[in-house]
Structure 1
Amino acid sequence: MAIPSLQDGIDKAGSPIKLLWKPGAAPWTPEVVEREYAGWRQEQAAWHEGVALLNLSHHMFDMWIEGPDATRLLADHGVNNFENFALGQAKQYVPVTKDGNIVTDGILAREAENKYLLSGIPAAQHWVQYHAEKGGYDVAFATDASSAFRQGGGDPKLFRYQIQGPLAKDVVERAFGGPLPETKFFHSAPVALDGRHFRALRHGMAGQAGFEFIGPWEHAAYVHEAFLKAGEPFGLVQVGALAYTTPSVESGWIPSPVPGIYSDPGLREYREQLALFGIEGQRPLNGSYFSEDIEDYYASPYELGYGKMISFRHDFLGRDALVKAKEAVRRTKVTLVFDADDVRELIGRGQDPGFVLTYARHRVENVNGLVGMTMQTASIDPVGTVLSLTLIDTAYAEPGTEVWVVWGEHPGPGTDPEADLGLPRVRATVRPAPFNQHARTLYRRNA
């Protein structure tokens, strides 16, 4: 029996929206790791005020790309500049469709002259592999799915541990017996613990300094225990699945934009090769914002804040569309700070709502009507309220602008997208994205 494709699912449902629309869908959280260790509030506080240990080993999808055409393939299908891509360096890789809409982003690390590792949500990997095979590029692929989707179970090929927060450097130096090699942001250096060799990537989250350590799974348990012991004097806190999802809201990274692949007739063959029960067919849409047109959910790299990553010094799929889009960016990425009283009264129904997390697209309005939609919303305890990464019409993106967020679920197809459903409206104020001042200034400038 043939495995159903994404196109099969769209055809059966009647439209991409009818396939993806799932009111009340539970938000994704990382697989395998505990939901909470010390409690989500304490875990968030750890990377703001102390030091936190995060386990990224199980929810990342990895794809190795190797061969004489590896660089050409990635450059042909990504907006990034590949001219000075050093060995050991990583970049946020941004592939787009011919219309200039993002597919999704991923972390691309250069491991050797003709070998790269692309990690993250697998939509980017699917896109790159499809075009490699269709275009006859001389490359080979090896993949390792996330633990939730790894066929036959088993362990990951790699461990990934992050140490983050103001005390991260102290913990790392205690673990390794001294400072790590001086490394630029998003560059890595080889390191070792008691003869176990792996890499240290200069990293950071929510504006705080930190490191990501990546190495063979056979060393995972030893390295993890070594970090726990080194962190004891500094009050190191392990971060669970709930808190792990939230730093992106502060650092300004939108984790799962809708891939711009569902409506172009020219991509039918691509959709026919994608599994229905993969990320492209199963990542739900929901919230108070609703449109029958899937293209209303697409986003350009400019809207997501990736404009500085776009290099027009090379030709790539979608280049012409992005040249035109550069002068007509309709929406801006901002942070919405929810009114704390409204959060308690309207979201918590008179009480502390506890942990709030949603990737729902909620309507953002002012007196003129619809002006934007949320992309990810979460409780940020050190801030004392809920924050939301949002795409808003550029005219209303000025910090200090007051708006409302319509909180609730539109039922979807069959109901007018503009219907007044009597949903509560939470007051919110526009702030920059990244929200964290350090992330917005020093952290970005040092990249």
Structure 2
Amino acid sequence: MATPSLQDGIDKAGSPIRLLWKPNAEPWTPEVVEREYAGWRQEQAAWHEGIALLNLSHHMYDMWIEGPDATRVLAEYGANNFEKFAVGQAKQYVPVTRDGKIVTDGILARHAENKYLLSGVPASQHWVRYHSEKAGYDVAFETDPSSAFRPGGGDPKLFRYQIQGPQALDLMEKVFGGPLPQTKFFHATPVTLDGRSFEALRHGMAGQAGYEFIGPWEHAAYVHEAFLKAGEPLGLVQVGALAYTTPSVESGWIPSPVPGIYTDPELADYRAWLPLFGIEGKRPLSGSFFSPDIEDYYVSPYELGYGKLIHFGHDFHGRDALLKARDEPRRTKVTLVLDVDDVRRVVGEGQDPGFVLTYARHRVEASAGLVGVTMQTASIDPVGTVLAQTLIDPAHATPGTEVNVVWGEHPGFGTEPEADLGFPRIRATVQPSPYDWHARTEYRRDA
């Protein structure tokens, strides 16, 4: 029996929204690692006040791209600047459709002149591989799925450990016997630990000082133990799956936006190529915002804050649409700070709600009605409340603006999108994105 495709799933469901709409869907958390080690509150505090160790080894997909046409295919289907892309550098890869909508992002690291590693959720990997195979580019691919989806189980090819927080550099000196070489943001430097070679990428999800260490899985246990042993007297805290999902809410990164691939007739073959049981067919939509039109969920890279990554000095798929969108009005990415009392009343039923995490699209309203949509919402204990990464109309994007978040789950088809379902409102105040001061001001200063 043939494996069903994304297009098969859409056809059977009747529409992309009918396929993806799943009220009260469980939020994604990383696979394999413990849900909590010291408790999510203490783990969040660690990257603000001390040292946090985050294990990224199991939940990311990796795809190696190598061959004479590797740079060509990545440049033709991504909006980034490949003229300024050094070996040893990494970039947030920005692939877009011909309509200028994001497919999704990924971390692209250049390992050699024509060798790259693309990591993250697999939607961007699917995009690159499909177009490469369709056009017959001279390039080879090697993939390593996340541990939950690796055929036959087994270990990852790479380990990834992030060390983040104000004392992260102190730990580096203890582990490596001195400071690491001066490294620009999103650049890697080779390191050696007791004869084991790997790399240190200056990058971190928490928007704090630190590095991501990446190397062959055979060294994973040794490196992990070295960090734990050296970090114990410094108060190092391991971060579990719950707290791991939350740094993006502070650092301004919006994970897994809806790929803009479901409606373009020219992408019918692509949808027939994609498996149904993948991120494009199974990442659910829910929340108080509902539209029967999947295009209402598409986003521009400009809305996500990726405008500075777009390079018009080369021709690429979607270039004309992005040129047009550059000067058009669009939503602004902001952080909503939810009112503490309202969170207790609405989410916690009068009590501290504990850990809150949702990727639901909740309506954001003002006196004018709908003015925005939340993209990810989570408890941030060091802040003392719940924050929501949100796309909002420019007229309501000024810090200090007061809005309301509609908290509830629209049932979907059979109920009008704008129906008043009696959902409670949570007062919220607009603040910048990234919310974290370090992430907003100094994190990328020497990129």
Indicate the TM-score class for this superposition, using the shorter chain for normalisation: over 0.9
Q: Distance in 1 between matches of 2:22 and 2:109?
A: 35
1:42 maps to amino acid: Q
Q: Distance in 2 between matches of 1:295 and 1:254?
A: 18
Return the offset for 1:412: 0.5
Asked if 1:270 corresponds to 2:270, the answer is yes
Note the alpha carbon deviations across 1:188-224, whole angstroms, 9 max, x for none.
0111111111000011333310100000000000000
Return the offset for 1:346: 1.1
Equivalent residues in 2 for 1:141-180 (5 A)? 141-180=141-180
1:211 maps to amino acid: Y
Q: Distance in 1 between matches of 2:90 and 2:80?
A: 12
Return the offset for 1:444: 3.0
Q: Distance in 2 between matches of 1:216 and 1:444?
A: 27
Q: Gapped runs of 5+ residues in structure 2?
A: none
Residue aligning to 1:362: 362
Residue aligning to 1:313: 313
Return the offset for 1:240: 0.1
Note the alpha carbon deviations across 1:102-149, whole angstroms, 9 max, x for none.
000000000111100000000000000000011111100000000010
Equivalent residues in 2 for 1:103-142 (5 A)? 103-142=103-142
Contact 1:303–1:329, Cα closer than 8 Å, also in 2: no
Residue aligning to 1:22: 22
- Deviating 4+ runs (over 4 angstroms): none
Q: Distance in 1 between matches of 2:305 and 2:327?
A: 14
Return the offset for 1:445: 2.6
- Of stretches 181-190 and 236-245 in structure 1, the one that deviates more from structure 2 is 181-190
Note the alpha carbon deviations across 1:328-380, whole angstroms, 9 max, x for none.
13201000000011011111110000000000000000011000100000000
Q: Distance in 2 between matches of 1:339 and 1:94?
A: 34
Residue aligning to 1:281: 281
- Of stretches 437-446 and 23-32 in structure 1, the one that deviates more from structure 2 is 437-446
Residue aligning to 2:195: 195
Return the offset for 1:386: 0.2
1:124 maps to amino acid: S
Q: Distance in 2 between matches of 1:27 and 1:197?
A: 36
Return the offset for 1:446: 2.6
Q: Distance in 2 between matches of 1:426 and 1:436?
A: 22
Q: Distance in 1 between matches of 2:293 and 2:366?
A: 23
Note the alpha carbon deviations across 1:82-116, whole angstroms, 9 max, x for none.
11211111000000000000000000000111100
Residue aligning to 1:301: 301
Q: Distance in 2 between matches of 1:207 and 1:159?
A: 21
2:344 maps to amino acid: R
Return the offset for 1:438: 1.4
SS at match of 2:215: strand
Residue aligning to 1:49: 49
Q: Distance in 2 between matches of 1:299 and 1:7?
A: 21
SS at match of 2:209: strand
Return the offset for 1:437: 1.3
Q: Distance in 2 between matches of 1:444 and 1:401?
A: 27
Asked if 1:90 corresponds to 2:77, the answer is no
Could you tell me the percent identity over the aligned residues?
81
Q: Distance in 2 between matches of 1:277 and 1:43?
A: 33
Return the offset for 1:179: 0.9
Residue aligning to 1:442: 442
TM-score by length of structure 2 reads 0.99
RMSD, matched Cα: 0.6
2:248 maps to amino acid: S
SS at match of 2:9: helix
Note the alpha carbon deviations across 1:51-79, whole angstroms, 9 max, x for none.
00010000010000000111111010111
Contact 1:302–1:329, Cα closer than 8 Å, also in 2: no
SS at match of 1:218: helix
TM-score by length of structure 1 reads 0.99
1:201 maps to amino acid: L
Q: Distance in 2 between matches of 1:345 and 1:261?
A: 39
Note the alpha carbon deviations across 1:260-312, whole angstroms, 9 max, x for none.
00011110000001000000000000000000000000000000000011000
- Of stretches 197-206 and 165-174 in structure 1, the one that deviates more from structure 2 is 197-206
- Of stretches 180-189 and 24-33 in structure 1, the one that deviates more from structure 2 is 180-189
SS at match of 2:444: helix
Q: Distance in 2 between matches of 1:417 and 1:444?
A: 40
Q: Distance in 2 between matches of 1:414 and 1:46?
A: 46
Asked if 1:388 corresponds to 2:388, the answer is yes
Q: Distance in 1 between matches of 2:203 and 2:98?
A: 32
2:390 maps to amino acid: T
Aligned length: 447
Q: Gapped runs of 5+ residues in structure 1?
A: none
SS at match of 1:214: strand
Q: Distance in 1 between matches of 2:216 and 2:69?
A: 26
Q: Distance in 2 between matches of 1:20 and 1:203?
A: 33
Q: Distance in 1 between matches of 2:445 and 2:223?
A: 31
Q: Distance in 1 between matches of 2:206 and 2:267?
A: 36
Equivalent residues in 2 for 1:200-219 (5 A)? 200-219=200-219
Equivalent residues in 2 for 1:322-337 (5 A)? 322-337=322-337
Residue aligning to 1:66: 66
Equivalent residues in 2 for 1:359-438 (5 A)? 359-438=359-438
Contact 2:55–2:161, Cα closer than 8 Å, also in 1: yes
Contact 2:185–2:444, Cα closer than 8 Å, also in 1: no
SS at match of 2:92: strand
SS at match of 1:242: helix
Q: Distance in 2 between matches of 1:203 and 1:123?
A: 22
Note the alpha carbon deviations across 1:403-431, whole angstroms, 9 max, x for none.
00000100001110000111100000000
Q: Distance in 2 between matches of 1:445 and 1:102?
A: 25
